[in-house]
Structure 1
Amino acid sequence: MLNPIDTAAVIRDGGAVGHYPGQIHEAVAWWLGSCLVVTTKAPRLAVAHDDTAISVGFADRLCRGAINAQHYACRVGYLGHQSEQTLLDAATGAFQAPAAWVSTDTDDDATIVRIRLYTQDGRLLDDSTGLADIRDLIDSDRVPIPVNSQAKGTIERWPAQATTGAQP
C-alpha cells in the first residue's frame, strides 16, 4: 500500500472519518468507492457531497474508484452538491442503489473529512452490512481493481431534477 492508513481508526462510523491531511487522504475515497461496489455487488452507485473544495476532490476520487471495481462496470450517478437527505432520497427512490456522501468540517483548526456509505435501502453501512469487509480489503491491501477496460464503469452527472422521480 503506497500510503497506508490506520483502518481501525479511519474506517468506522458508517464509512471513513479522519483529520485531513494526516489520518485520511484522497486515495481512501478511491478505495472506499471500489470496495463498496464489490462488497455490495452494486451495478449502480449514487454519490454527492457538501460542496467544500476538499469534499469535491474526495467525491471525485470515490467515483473513480467505483467505476474501476473489478468486473462490475458500475454506473455512478454523480449528484454533485446535494444534502445528505437528497442523496438518500434519490438513492432509495429512482436510482435504487447504494450511496456515498462526502462532507468536511473543521474542529480546532483541523479539517475533518467524513465519507458516509449507505446500503441500497438507505441504511448506514456497519460491520454486518459490509464495512468490516471494506476495512479488511483495505487493511490487507486487496483493493479491487478492474479486470480489463471493458469492465470499467461510467460516471454520469445526475441533474437535481432527477431526484423528483425521473429515471437516471
Structure 2
Amino acid sequence: MLNPIDTAAVIRDGGAVGRYPDQIHEAVGWWLGSCLVVTAKTSRLAVAHDGHPVSIGFADRLCQGATHAQHYACTIRYLRQRPAEELLAEAKSYEAPAAWVSTAPAASGDTVRIRLYTANGVLLDETNGLADIRNLIEQDRIPIPVNTQAQGKIKPWPPESPEEARP
C-alpha cells in the first residue's frame, strides 16, 4: 500500500478521523469511497462537505474512489458544501448511503473527519460495515473497477445544467 495509515487509529467513530497530513491523507477519501460502495453493494451514493478547502479535497477523492468500485458503476450525487442534515435528507430521498467530510482547523494540524452512513441514515459502526471497510484497507484490498463500463459518474447536485440532470 502506498502511504499506509494506522487503520485502527484512523478508521473509527463512524468513518475516518485524523490529523492532516500526519495521520490521514487524501487517498483515505478514495479508499473510503470505493470500500463504502462495495460493502454497501450500492450503485448510488450521496456526498457533501463543510466547505473547508481540506474537506473539499477529501470529498473530491472520495467521489473519485466511489466511481472506481468494482462493477457497481456508482452514480455519486455530489451536493458539495451542505450541512450533514441536508446531506442525510437528500441521501434518504435518493435511497443511497452517504458520506460527509468536515475539517476542524488546529495549530497542530487540521483534523479531518469523514462520516459514513447507511442508506437509512445510520452512522456506520463495527456491525454495519465499518469493520469490513477497515479490513479492506488494512489488507490493501481497495476495490477497483473490473472494466471501463463499470466506472461510475459524479453528478453535481442540484444540477447546474439540463445535461447534468439526465440520468
Tell whether the structures are fold-level matches, with TM greater than 0.5.
Answer: yes
Paired residue type of 2:102: S
2:152 — aligned with what?
A: 153
1:127 — aligned with what?
A: 126
Between the aligned partners of 1:117 and 1:29, the Cα distance in structure 2 is 11
1:163 — aligned with what?
A: none
Paired residue type of 2:150: A
Mapping for residues 1-150 of structure 1, pairs under 5 Å: 1-93=1-93, 95-150=94-149
Where in structure 2 are there 5+ consecutive unaligned residues?
A: 160-166
Where in structure 1 are there 5+ consecutive unaligned residues?
A: 161-167
The alignment of Structure 1 onto Structure 2 pairs a total of residues equal to 163
Give 1:108 shift.
Answer: 4.1
Deviations along 1:96-136, one digit per CA (max 9) or x if unpaired, are 10000000002344200000000000000001100000000
User: More displaced, 31-40 or 100-109?
Assistant: 100-109
Normalized against structure 2, the TM-score is what? 0.94
Partner SS for 1:36: helix
Paired residue type of 1:31: W
Partner SS for 1:107: coil
Identity %: 66
Deviating 4+ runs (over 4 angstroms): none
